[in-house]
Amino acid sequence: MTLPRASRPFVEFPAILRAHGFAVSTDQTIAFLEAIGLLGPRDVIDIRRAALATLAIPRERHAEFDALFQAYFLGQSLAAPIEDEDGDDGVEAYEPSSDRIDIDQEEGDEEPGELATSAELLGRRQFAAVDDADALRLLARHAPKVLPRRQSYRRSFDNRGNRIDLRRALRQALRRDGEVFDLPQTQRKTKQRRILLLIDVSGSMKDQSEASLRFAHTLVQAADSVEVFSLGTRLTRITVPMKIRNTEQALDAVGASVADFDGGTRIGEALAAFLAVPRFSAYARGAATLVISDGLERGSPEALIDAVRKLSRVSWRLDWLSPLAADPLYEPRTEALSGCLPYLDTLVPGDRVEALCNHVLNLARPA
């Protein structure tokens, strides 16, 4: 069903609010449309009043709501980032879709990629062709067979099963005039365990992020269940563009979806945003979670440690792959990453595509 052109802005605006962390349900969107119909509306003030009355905007977030409202309905841009109670920028949980807009901040004059920073830098990333074909080809060939598996709730016939299949036994008895010569048994099926990739795309990972994304694309194509998120000054789910079969087309789509390439580093807050969205955090439950990052956190160390602790509790295993760990003398000396060590299963090198591929292919092997 195609919406009337006049009503589209009033359907898109609640979607924008949801994308920026407001809890707006479908019923509230319908109520908002009905309120617009009752009010006329005569002017933009009526639209704002209808939104506040029907979309249940928390009073403490009225300033943020007004900024989004003005940007969408009045075409005004934000003069400064919207700050939280502590005076720091909030990290968005972002999933690209066709029914929302971005409110970008002006880029600074600093050259990204040299130092870890907490500033948000929005833009589009283009990827050049690289040659990691051998390692990626090996991953694509062996991943379906060697990735870790878990038991499913479904069962199938198995001569060495652990439960009698009464239905099959009765069917055999009916065919054999009530005689049962053997008792058919079933065993629980197995399925590939989900893999969750959390990839740091900040400025300090500028030389590594493209290789990490190529690795992620190959894994998404080879495995049954993989979820991919980018971390920087915001959290972005990029699983959908990664499902495009052609690598270059997939990376182009990722480059258009992720707005904070080569920007600041707020891993802890991005992970907290991931855990705060129930649909996202469900991806980590029972998953092999891999964080690909150098761990040069510019946000609160406590936020990163707390997020890693919570993530380790729901994950089957939690591994941190850092390009800095390729140095044999490397020791995590930052307060944030050193505080995360008790909650990590491994901290291993992640400086090359080959290292990433080898680690994934060995996940099912005992430590």
Contact 248, 129 (CB under 8 A): yes
User: Is the per-residue pLDDT at 115 higher than 70?
Assistant: no
328: Cβ contacts below 8 Å, ≥ 6 apart:
none
pLDDT level of residue 50 (50, 70, 90 thresholds): confident
Q: What is the pLDDT of residues 62-106, one digit of tens each?
A: 888 888 888 887 765 443 333 444 444 456 666 765 444 343 433
Q: What is the pLDDT of residue 97?
A: 57
User: Is the per-residue pLDDT at 8 higher than 50?
Assistant: yes
10 Å Cβ neighbour count for 110? 12
Percent of the chain with pLDDT over 70: 82
Q: What is the pLDDT of residue 29?
A: 85
What is the pTM (predicted TM-score) of this model? 0.63
Task: Give the start-to-end residue ranges of the domains of the chain.
Answer: 5-76, 133-145+193-361, 153-190
- Token digits of residue 301: 């160390």
Bond before 41 cis per omega within 30 degrees: yes
Q: What is the pLDDT of residue 347?
A: 94
Q: What is the pLDDT of residues 199-216, one digit of tens each?
A: 999 888 888 889 999 999
Q: Residue 311 and residue 230: Cα distance in Å, rounded? A: 16
pLDDT level of residue 189 (50, 70, 90 thresholds): confident
Average pLDDT over residues 129-134: 67
Token pair 């349900």: residue: 25
Burial class (CB in 10 A: 0-12, 13-18, 19+), 129: exposed
Average pLDDT over residues 217-234: 92
- The answer to which of 24-33, 82-91, 109-118, 312-321 has the lowest mean pLDDT is 109-118
Q: How far is CA 25 from CA 30, 94, 233, 335, 359, in A?
A: 9, 17, 26, 40, 41
Q: 133-145+193-361 belongs to which homologous superfamily?
A: von Willebrand factor, type A domain (3.40.50.410)
Q: What is the pLDDT of residues 326-352, one digit of tens each?
A: 888 888 888 889 999 999 999 999 989
Token pair 């939280």: residue: 84
Handedness of CA 88, 92, 98, 99 (dihedral sign): negative
Q: What is the pLDDT of residues 230-285, one digit of tens each?
A: 998 888 999 999 999 999 999 999 988 888 787 777 899 899 999 998 989 999 99
Q: Which residues pair with 163 in a beta bridge?
A: 186
